[in-house]
Structure 1
């Protein structure tokens, strides 16, 4: 189907944004510990059940619920979500300039293409309106348990089911939920990585992380410090300088690393989209055009052969030329990288590079030595007086893996016993050993440097639909990946990723894609490859358990 938005979000964006206090309650630095304290142990638990339980109500959770209901004809679905509405990151992230970082015609569901995006990369509130339009269409609100924190998932050996221990955040009411299948759709860019700077607690002005934006703070004519220069900063900086709601007096941007910034998405794409938006076939044609162009960039991410070097050279030349020709000469040494392109995620510009010509902005790569009452002291001894500090310091990726205890077969704690030892991983990005009937949608290694995470989500959902179908039809009791297959996948993908540019010595940079041990973020091959391995499961890699508890291959 195709959908058409009313664009109410443009006239009333607050309706499509999380309230600041609600986001703080779930995502602040100490939120996890505080959420545990909201559990009321005096109240007896409420016992509930469902065939399928989904954790998270963003793109992954919404897509999984719809496809479970529509394709598997299973209506017994429950969605657990800590926020008070659908949307995930598109509900929680509301900073000025927040928008899709790739064309929305691709950053949307293939089964629900939108016919009237306002821009190629529409703003946050429009993305949220799109998601709410779809959840209304499929009546998902009746499936959702909002303001509910999932605290632990435990595999019940005798029943061959999962027990989900959760609680309602406001009342403290405990919930014990029995379910055949869990689909974890929590996402990776969730928990803000707060600014780690000495003396921050002494700052007398306003401090906020980009992912926890306080819209009550007045920015007009204020002196602002922005820390970081990734995708969020690329959107925030020009908004603070040019949006009439903000129009700051001065903006100092402090950062350590550099990013390859590509020219904005060509305007001709929007023209083509509007010409073909009258039909679903036309929308699919535009979508596939974007996919094909993006896949042509894959060689730059891996290897040093002739094709890889050629594609890498073309993209590097385009990026460097754009940055140098649209910014003052005196900042070129600060913004143009010297590592291999793709080592950090590519940024399609949001008017950031031209904004560097604004006389109100100052760039510096001298780190923060100390935060003082009226600003910061930089490592070179410079005192920068500011009223507001905005941290565009990214997300705590590991916390997204370890925030939820998952106790699988034989009491194995997936996080502590498997992931802390080797590193977070999942077979074909979806299945973890010792965790039957547990699917990770957009799980470890499902992200890419060139593609759409929504496309990856849909690929993962398709795999889940095929593999879980015998369980939901009552033909089998459980399914899990064979331990030796999981281990082989882990070794294979990590070896392949070491040949890539994703935050490796070969790439020449430090990136959130990976840490010292493993890369649990990026996919090692093309999206065409990912589509293939998710649409054609290798059932020999899996163990199904029959209703009579007899294991079969």
Structure 2
């Protein structure tokens, strides 16, 4: 039986869109993109909370091959990212091959037919020669199991399910969480509610945000002379590279740079918060970079407002009308906002059950044998699977750095397979082991292992204590490897069939 599709892509965010564009370029155009949400855009469709914006400059947080000259601000609001995703999907003819409201329950490799069987909710099964998982790194919302949360009589809102018509005027609200989402949301809520209590478990490094409106004249210049926007992208990318690669990944060699950024962040905090005790509570006690930092000019000043209080005691329980901390204090509220982020390692690697050759369960294999993926994209025992959100995949600070590197890897891998007339590919165990050893050694210089990250509670670390999310390479190095990796790091269908017979 021939498979129904050349490929099934799971996820219609920017990763899935990029994969679709690359498959079209390769001539593998008979694919479908399955998306559990009602529309495309991934995080930029799901998230609609007040203050939502990119925290990487828009000229960098976009496809290099599809620049948008009309960003309204240096850091564009979320609605513009959703509009950009719509534009790209329509321009490249992807929307007509998308199915929305479809949940993937699992996928299994059929060795006899050399194809993937993808099980969908509702007892539907589709088949494809290739499977591409593009479910994103931050796609599984996390709600902490606070005792009593089910008894809360007021309204509970998770930031990933923000109602468009929610009016919090005059409310007594609590925000749980102080990550990147809260940094954007809290200043907006503080202007609306009567009382706001921010429950902080771990303080976050915040640096000034050089956010400016982009004048219409500059937008017209970007549209008329694309090289100018390309230059702006190069400058911004270079700054991010220095922050991430030098200050974080080469911490041992560049401690002064890391310390300097920390000093800048502390000066920013000191200039914006009047109360000394609150400043101390907002100051991280771990090294810069252990936890993803963020940018804001307004978050800290919120804590000068009379209607805002910072709470650093741990939460003991939730009552019908209050949050109770371990010291016995009750904070009476009528609205509970959960800015508690995502469950990254427990349910997102992978986001659904994936069974490969010889019945190997990908999630179990990762947890039993360390989280790993060759070049952050393929795994042995999983033929014809491209996993875009894998361990050691994330490169640089802009997600588009990762996406475009993975598109290059797909181009080289699929191009060679098609050149040979092969039907399957699979990375060798030796190549995978070599890559894992290399990234482990390189990360030894990073702030994750060379710095003080004990109190960071960072999602960069998996349950085994390994920083297995970020690729320890420069952007140039990652893209070079994606375009030049040894082709014999993969076996193609003849070798796969021979190995199966011998087994």
Q: 1:252 aligns with which of 183, 193, 197?
A: 197
Matched residue, 1:462: 408
1:163-312 counterparts in 2 under 5 A?
163-167=117-121, 172=122, 174-242=123-191, 247-265=192-210, 267=212, 274=219, 276-278=221-223, 279-297=225-243, 298-303=245-250, 305=252, 307-312=253-258
Tell me the C-alpha RMSD between the 2 structures: 2.3
Once the 2 structures are TM-superposed, how far is the Cα of residue 550 of structure 1 from its aligned partner? 5.6
Q: Deviations over 1:341-369 (max 9, x none)?
A: 10111101152122222221101211111
Once the 2 structures are TM-superposed, how far is the Cα of residue 547 of structure 1 from its aligned partner? 9.6
**C-alpha separation between the residues in 1 aligned to 2:106 and 2:317?**
39
1:358-437 counterparts in 2 under 5 A?
358-398=305-345, 399-416=347-364, 418-437=365-384
Matched residue, 1:29: none
Q: Deviations over 1:33-87 (max 9, x none)?
A: xxxxxxxxxxxxxx97111221110000011111221x21332121111112111
Query: What SS does the aligned partner of 1:313 have?
Result: helix
Matched residue, 2:265: 319
Once the 2 structures are TM-superposed, how far is the Cα of residue 462 of structure 1 from its aligned partner? 1.0
2:488 equivalent to 1:540:
yes
Q: Could you tell me whether the CA contact under 8 Å between 1:502 and 1:522 is conserved in 2? A: no
2:423 equivalent to 1:477:
yes
Once the 2 structures are TM-superposed, how far is the Cα of residue 210 of structure 1 from its aligned partner? 1.3
Q: Deviations over 1:104-134 (max 9, x none)?
A: 1111111111111111111221110111111
Q: Could you tell me whether the CA contact under 8 Å between 1:61 and 1:185 is conserved in 2? A: yes
Q: In structure 2, do the counterparts of structure 1 residues 118 and 468 end up closer, same or farther at CA, with 3 Å as the change threshold?
A: same
Greater alpha carbon shift after TM alignment, 474-483 vs 263-272: 263-272
Q: Could you tell me whether the CA contact under 8 Å between 2:3 and 2:129 is conserved in 1? A: no
**C-alpha separation between the residues in 2 aligned to 1:264 and 1:64?**
32
Q: 2:23 aligns with which of 51, 58, 68?
A: 68
Q: Deviations over 1:458-478 (max 9, x none)?
A: 111110111012434671121
1:75-154 counterparts in 2 under 5 A?
75-154=29-108
Q: Could you tell me whether the CA contact under 8 Å between 1:499 and 1:506 is conserved in 2? A: no
Q: In structure 2, do the counterparts of structure 1 residues 347 and 439 end up closer, same or farther at CA, with 3 Å as the change threshold?
A: same
Query: What SS does the aligned partner of 1:113 have?
Result: coil
Q: In structure 2, do the counterparts of structure 1 residues 499 and 430 end up closer, same or farther at CA, with 3 Å as the change threshold?
A: same
Q: Could you tell me whether the CA contact under 8 Å between 2:251 and 2:447 is conserved in 1? A: no
Q: Could you tell me whether the CA contact under 8 Å between 2:73 and 2:211 is conserved in 1? A: no
Q: Could you tell me whether the CA contact under 8 Å between 2:287 and 2:451 is conserved in 1? A: no
Q: Could you tell me whether the CA contact under 8 Å between 1:74 and 1:472 is conserved in 2? A: no
Query: What SS does the aligned partner of 2:349 have?
Result: helix
What TM-score results when the alignment is normalised by the length of structure 1?
A: 0.84
**C-alpha separation between the residues in 2 aligned to 1:390 and 1:219?**
11
**C-alpha separation between the residues in 1 aligned to 2:21 and 2:80?**
21
Q: Deviations over 1:144-169 (max 9, x none)?
A: 122112222111212222222224xx
Q: In structure 2, do the counterparts of structure 1 residues 321 and 310 end up closer, same or farther at CA, with 3 Å as the change threshold?
A: same
Q: Aligned pairs, how many?
A: 492
Q: In structure 2, do the counterparts of structure 1 residues 377 and 395 end up closer, same or farther at CA, with 3 Å as the change threshold?
A: same
Q: Could you tell me whether the CA contact under 8 Å between 1:263 and 1:322 is conserved in 2? A: yes
**C-alpha separation between the residues in 1 aligned to 2:418 and 2:305?**
59
Query: What SS does the aligned partner of 2:160 have?
Result: coil
Matched residue, 1:53: 8
Q: 2:439 aligns with which of 471, 486, 493?
A: 493
**C-alpha separation between the residues in 2 aligned to 1:474 and 1:124?**
43
What TM-score results when the alignment is normalised by the length of structure 2?
A: 0.92
Q: Could you tell me whether the CA contact under 8 Å between 1:237 and 1:352 is conserved in 2? A: yes
- Which sections of structure 2, spanning at least 5 residues, go unmatched? none
**C-alpha separation between the residues in 1 aligned to 2:217 and 2:461?**
37
Greater RCO, 1 or 2 (C-alpha within 8 Å, sep 6+): 2
Q: In structure 2, do the counterparts of structure 1 residues 318 and 530 end up closer, same or farther at CA, with 3 Å as the change threshold?
A: same
Matched residue, 2:470: 522
Once the 2 structures are TM-superposed, how far is the Cα of residue 537 of structure 1 from its aligned partner? 1.7
